[in-house]
Amino acid sequence: MTDVPRTPTDPMTAPAAPTLAVVIVNFNSWSDTSRLVRGLAGEAAVASGHCEVVVVDNASDGPIPPELANPAANVRLIPRARNGGFAAGVNAGWRASSSRWLLLLNPDVVAGPGLIGRILGRIEELEGRPGGAPGIVGFGLRNADGSRQPSVGAAPGLARSLREPLIPRTRRKYQAAWRTKAGPVPWVTGACALVDARLLRDLGGMDDDFFLYYEEVALCQSARSLGRAVEYDPTVEVVHLHPLQNRAVTPKMRVITRHSKLLYFRKHRPAWEFRSLSVLVAVEAAVRGAWASLRGEAAAARAWRAVGGLSRTVRAGTAPRGRAVLELAVAAVAAPPTGAARAKGKVGPKATPGRRRPQLRKDGTR
């Protein structure tokens, strides 16, 4: 009889605590999330309890799919009342788990069979290193057509920011392919990344002042500041269907991404670089906002005005953080009421002419 190789997931008895927790932060991506969870739940390591799957839902619209409302063994759903952003979602998953490692996966990742077994094998190798395991390991990404997708970021800095307008948007934040090699790197994308839970404990979690974008850059920078390595491992790959850099940037997202970049520079770059960037962003906002107005792109013009305001408030330390950034972006791009609507809101049909009645404001942002 041929011997079957054993893996770290083979023991017959379930462990006291899982080695790995897969954390998936969902927002209005139920279809992708359900597909990903179905594939992961079928893996032996999940069934045996060596790995758990934690889905954190950031207050998505619509009903929860039945397979997540009543999940399989070692699959959990953590519903959140409000959308606090990606970092806040990861923190919720981390705090709900007792695993030594977290695997962050975007809902639009196609994991492929055997991913969890390969990750557990890599964990065993990492923990056996004489110098200790890295704090974060990013894995390879592929596009749906099989082509390589950038997953290793270039070191942020003012010089890089000045060159970015000359770089195609699909790889503006990332290292050139010829420079991307296995081993230590500046930062890795959170679409598919392995994170030591002890690192999050030491940091108090991911920085949820970032609503979206740059939160993984900040995490990697903080890891290196604590002496923990950040590495890239292309021997494990997944397909990532809808990376942000391949999608059109909406006016709302423009506000959020500029906020995140300014905040990152304020927290992690020299003061003179941050001040210089804030001036550059203010100039960009003025020029591009004026151009949007000339083209009749009202929402874009309002978004750029909000970006200009952020360049000042982040510098002053009074800018919104976390979910408040989303609320600012939504309010910034919303069309203002028409003159008739404004008049109706100020003077009701039964109001005495010439006298305004006080009105209650209603916040329609969820």
Could you tell me what percent of the chain has a pLDDT over 90?
Answer: 73
- 15 vs 276, higher pLDDT: 276
CA distances from residue 239 to 99, 105, 202 in whole angstroms, order as listed = 25, 11, 31
pLDDT band for 212, please (50, 70, 90 cuts): very high
The answer on pLDDT for 12 being more than 80 is no
Could you tell me what percent of the chain has a pLDDT over 70?
Answer: 88
Torsion over CA: 18, 19, 21, 22 (sign): negative
Structure tokens at 137: 């390991």
Top-level class of domain 20-246: alpha beta
Predicted confidence (pLDDT) per residue in 312-362, tens digit: 999 999 999 999 999 999 999 997 766 555 555 443 333 333 333 333 333
Predicted confidence (pLDDT) per residue in 174-209, tens digit: 887 777 888 999 999 999 999 999 999 999 999 999
Question: What pLDDT score was predicted for residue 221?
Answer: 97
Write down the domain spans for the chain.
Answer: 20-246, 251-335
d(CA 110, CA 136): 21
Residue 109 bridge partners (DSSP):
240
Beta-carbon contacts of residue 90 (< 8 Å; ≥ 6 apart): 23, 25, 56, 102, 104, 190, 205, 206
Beta-carbon contacts of residue 45 (< 8 Å; ≥ 6 apart): 9, 20, 51, 116, 117, 120
Helix, coil or strand: residue 56: strand
Question: What pLDDT score was predicted for residue 14?
Answer: 64
Question: What pLDDT score was predicted for residue 342?
Answer: 52
Question: What pLDDT score was predicted for residue 357?
Answer: 33
Question: What pLDDT score was predicted for residue 289?
Answer: 96
Predicted confidence (pLDDT) per residue in 25-72, tens digit: 999 999 999 999 999 999 999 999 999 999 999 999 989 999 899 998
Helix, coil or strand: residue 205: coil
Question: What pLDDT score was predicted for residue 351?
Answer: 38
Helices (H), the chain: 30-41, 44-48, 66-69, 86-95, 115-127, 158-163, 197-203, 215-225, 251-268, 271-294, 298-316, 323-333, 339-346
By the 8 A CB rule, do 20 and 120 touch?
Answer: yes
d(CA 98, CA 96): 7
Predicted confidence (pLDDT) per residue in 277-311, tens digit: 999 999 999 999 999 999 999 999 999 999 999 99
Beta-carbon contacts of residue 226 (< 8 Å; ≥ 6 apart): 135, 199, 202, 203
Question: What pLDDT score was predicted for residue 350?
Answer: 39
- 192 vs 162, higher pLDDT: 192
pTM: 0.86
pLDDT band for 13, please (50, 70, 90 cuts): low
Helix, coil or strand: residue 110: strand
